[in-house]
Chains A and B, each alone.
Chain A
Amino acid sequence: MAGPSTDPRAAAAPGATVPTRRGTEALLLAFAVLLTLAAQCIVDLTVTGSLRPELATFGIWFTALWTGAHLVVRRFAPYADPLLLPCVAVLTGLGLVMIHRLDIADPDAGSDAPVQLLWATIGLVLFVAVLLTVRDHRLLSRYAYILMLVGLVLLAIPAVLPASISEVYGAKLWIRVAGFSIQPGEFAKICLVIFFAAYLVDKRDVLALASRKVMGLEFPRGRDLGPVIVVWVLSILVLVFERDLGSSLLLFGIFVVMIYVATERASWVVIGLLMFAAGATLAYNAFGHVQARVDTWLDPFAYYDGSGYQVAQSLFGLGTGGLFGAGLGGGRPDAVPIAKSDFIGSAVGEELGLFGLAAVIMVYLILVERGLRTSLIVRDPFGKLLAAGLSFAVAWQLFVVLGGVTGLLPLTGLTTPFLAYGGSSLVANFGLVALLVRISDAARRPATPHVAPQRLTDAPTEVVQP
């Protein structure tokens, strides 16, 4: 794990220039683009036996997207972490390939890959916009309470809208207008992480210091439990009114981790786990749909003809893929309902096998650990907490989604970041990465030129002996 000793500022001798690593990023991006294009070719050749003419358009477009993103980073965030963008490019590219592959499998259902490419473009526009407008991430803390309001409103909209507009597959987390489906929760997630970061930086001393010792752990005073209870109630409300297990779990998990990082008090994790256990028990006993989810999770094959069908098919796909997979275009990932969005992980596992799926998880791991590393080396506490929250959000979301798809956890309605079909998820996550890139730029950027402080012993100050 990267420690503070790897802080490039510490390693660099005073006056030496810190390498920007933009060349590394360009090289890795080129690799990501080539990988995507090669995978596209393999899919077409395997399934149809020939290359489509659209492939050229796709290649040019996709290359242009990342070239543009790279140039913007080079110009406006030159010291950004060089691995963040390439990881995102690989995942987005692979997602596009899998969505295209699923398009071919079921031509009647229409083509989603071009739409997703359009969303990726919009996402990159947002990425650029964030980099251009947010020149210093610390400024975001000024808008913390506004962002909180925005986040809560976004979170609440689907709950108050009529089911005909907001409900898809039993979960009310959508806004569907004029052919567009938006999951506002994805944006709410980012707004709330920014708010949590600002709020916790503000209050962390109170939350950390005023405590009582119980069984070796420093527990906070009762009145300081307020914020965590508010978030807990919010999560429960999301679960009740939107029937969205995933967002609920995501929100609460992120908050607990952020409060732990802010206060350095392990007791918050214990409190969080206890509250989670209480909430889970409550939800299980109170709501039929939660019980059904859990039963299906425990034995999907027992509910094969109903709620377990999807997970069972997903497991069949993964098992059939085995170690090496059926090869791109060689499997039947379309046998899993809604494979393009929720179950894209099982499509990857079926066609690219254990090795392919593990590689994808490793790319996420790199992305997340680079984000956490940014958090380690950035100086200001707000930036630290924000980077940690955003990175953990990606990790936690992937864990919950892939865990659901592979039967490790109950199924949730979350989407796999970057990989899955879905505009709001893709666009929101590009925004998230833009923030990480911005913070990592601040973290690695050499401090503004200033006179290096002289070492005290060399100072021509007279030391007065007592």
Chain B
Amino acid sequence: MNAPLRRVAISVLVLFTLLILNINYIQVVRSDELRDDRRNTRVLADEYSRERGAIVVDGEPIALSVPTNDRLKYLRQYPQGGLYAAVTGYYSVIFGARGIEEAENALLAGTDDRLFVRRISDLFTGRDPSGGDVVLTLDPAVQQAAMAGLEGQVGAVVALDPSTGAVLGLASTPTYDPSALAGHDLDAVRDASAALEAADPDPTINQAIGQRYAPGSIFKVIVSAAALEDGYTPESVVPAPQVFDLPQSSGVLRNFGDSACDPSGQQTLIRALTISCNTAFAQLGIDLGEDAVREMAEGFGFDRDDLDIPMAVETSTLGEIENGDELARTSIGQQSVQVTPMQAAMIAAAVANDGTLMKPYLVDQLLAPDLTVIDETDPEVYSEPFSTEVADGLTEMMNSVVANGSGRNARISGVQVAGKTGTAENEGPDHNWFIGFAPADDPQIAVAVFVRNGGGTGGDTSAPIARSVIQAYLDGQEGR
């Protein structure tokens, strides 16, 4: 009986090995997932029993935990109210975390592996464990100017440092006070949440990175880039009829206000962008072909779903293009084109940075509880959609838009601003866009302003907001 006995002994070994492999899988591989599951109440109680790290902008905490006397020992507070809500998100007992609170939860809660050694020493020294701080790239002046500009509107502002991708401002309106959701009085939190959900639109929706809209004429920057890449110059003469006959149907495409772009029926590319001539860009898109337009759009980040800042950014898309009609409408930013304000800002940033698009990021540094830097974001190239020459041509054309064209409201005395307006048709009143950067010869800031259903033009509604955001940033830079 000894031979089968040995086999039984080996089988037992195999069974126990299975058990151990399985607990390895659960306690190591799936550990983070299980620990961070919002239904896992033990983590919640544990998290609240520790001092959660702060979210810091320019040395000031915009989210911090203060000790309380109730069962959950620390209360999360947002001293600036709604100013940074689109960035911080909230940290709620009932609804979990959103925004940076969610994306950097491990570090803020102190469970991040990079804090491991410290946790071990906490164990031995008896020090209360606490979370690390997250330092953001935001500029308070930019954020305030953006929120002030959007006051009373539904919209978003995204401002980037084009040379690094650092997010200088990220605003979404309407906003809300995250403190209302972070309270320990659960009934009050539920009421606050219900009120937010009942509002239209829900203020917790992030208009800057979580929603997509038709871009309208700001998309012409991408078509212009494709044209310049194809050998056109700003001075190239392109057809610009008063009415563009759609190739596949009896329909026509008109200019804004049904105007003629030029009595001669043709004009230079720079002029076409300056006055935002629809018929010229519809024809240009068809001449370049779908592939050229699509390739350039993808170079700017369209249809790429890998962007997180660290919150995930909704993927902007060109949509399906079935025929020439749709390509014509796509080329003026209508049809199925859908972009986030973040994507719009990235278009401006790519032009500003000589054709190199830097990956946008919000987190500058991660600090340990003793404020030593444990991680710092290194700027990263996201894509290189076009050459420096193309960038120079686009800059010249976008300068002209602000100097002589639809973007006049973005002009700042003494500073050359380059930009492009957009007025996008949709079911409601038009969406108003402006993207731009400044100073044009040495870009410090790239910005996108979006006003949902603003009803006016991008030049009327959004360009002034962009101007004040750019002004606020450049003033601040001068002071340094």
Contacts and interface: CB of A to CB of B under 8 A. Distances in A.
Interface of A: 1, 3-4, 257, 260-262, 264, 304, 312, 315-323, 327, 331-332, 335, 349, 353-354, 357-358, 361-362, 364-365, 368-369, 372-373, 375-376, 381, 384-385, 388, 391-392, 395-396, 398-399, 402-403, 406-408
Interface of B: 1-6, 8-10, 12-13, 15-16, 18-20, 22-24, 26-28, 30-35, 37, 39-43, 45-46, 123
B2 A376 contact: yes
Contacts of A388: 1, 5, 8
B31 A322 contact: yes
Contacts of B15: 395-396, 399
Contacts of A368: 12
Contacts of A312: 39
B28 A322 contact: yes
B467 to A, nearest CB: 51
B39 to A, nearest CB: 6
Nearest to A322: B31
Given A369-B12, A392-B12, A316 B24 contact: no
Contacts of B6: 1, 3, 376
B129 to A, nearest CB: 11
A4, A318, A362, A403, most chain B CB atoms within 10 A: A318
A332 B42 contact: yes
Contacts of B9: 1, 369, 372-373
Contact of B5 (A315, A318, A353, A375): A375
Main secondary structure of the interface of B (DSSP, over half): helix
Contacts of A4: 2
A261 B39 CA distance: 47
A332 B45 contact: yes
A308 to B, nearest CB: 11
Nearest to B6: A1
B42 A364 contact: no
Given A354-B27, A406-B26, A320 B40 contact: yes
B28 A354 contact: yes
A369 B20 CA distance: 16
A407 B29 CA distance: 14
Given A316-B40, A365-B16, A399-B16, A323 B28 contact: yes
A362 B20 CA distance: 9
Nearest to B27: A354
Nearest to B34: A319
A372 B16 contact: no
Contacts of A408: 18-19, 22
A327 B5 CA distance: 39
A320 B33 CA distance: 9
A354 B23 contact: yes
A357 B24 CA distance: 10
A361 B20 contact: yes
Given A260-B4, A304-B39, A372-B5, A402 B19 contact: yes
A384 B4 CA distance: 11
Contacts of B4: 260-261, 264
Contacts of B5: 261, 372, 375-376, 384, 388
B331 to A, nearest CB: 47
Interface centre among B4, B43, B46, B123 (most CB of A within 10 A): B4
Contact of A262 (B1, B20, B40): B1
Contact of B26 (A318, A361, A369, A384): A318
Q: 4 tightest CB-CB pairs across the interface, nearest first?
A: A319-B34, A332-B42, A354-B27, A316-B40
Given A316-B34, A319-B37, A403-B18, 18 more contacts: A1-B6, A3-B6, A261-B1, A264-B4, A319-B30, A322-B28, A327-B123, A349-B27, A354-B27, A365-B16, A372-B5, A373-B9, A376-B2, A388-B5, A398-B19, A399-B19, A406-B22, A407-B26
Nearest to B42: A332
15 contacts: A261-B5, A261-B8, A318-B27, A319-B33, A320-B40, A322-B35, A323-B27, A332-B41, A353-B27, A357-B27, A365-B16, A372-B5, A376-B5, A388-B5, A407-B22
Contacts of B12: 365, 368-369, 372, 391-392, 395
Give the interface centre of B22, B34, B37, B42 by most chain A CB atoms within 10 Å: B42
Contacts of A323: 27-28, 31
A372 B19 contact: no
Contacts of B27: 318-319, 321-323, 349, 353-354, 357
A369 B11 CA distance: 11
B1 A320 contact: no
Most buried by A among B2, B27, B40: B27
Contacts of B18: 399, 403, 408
A406 B39 contact: no
Contacts of B45: 332
Contacts of B31: 319-320, 322-323
B42 A403 contact: no
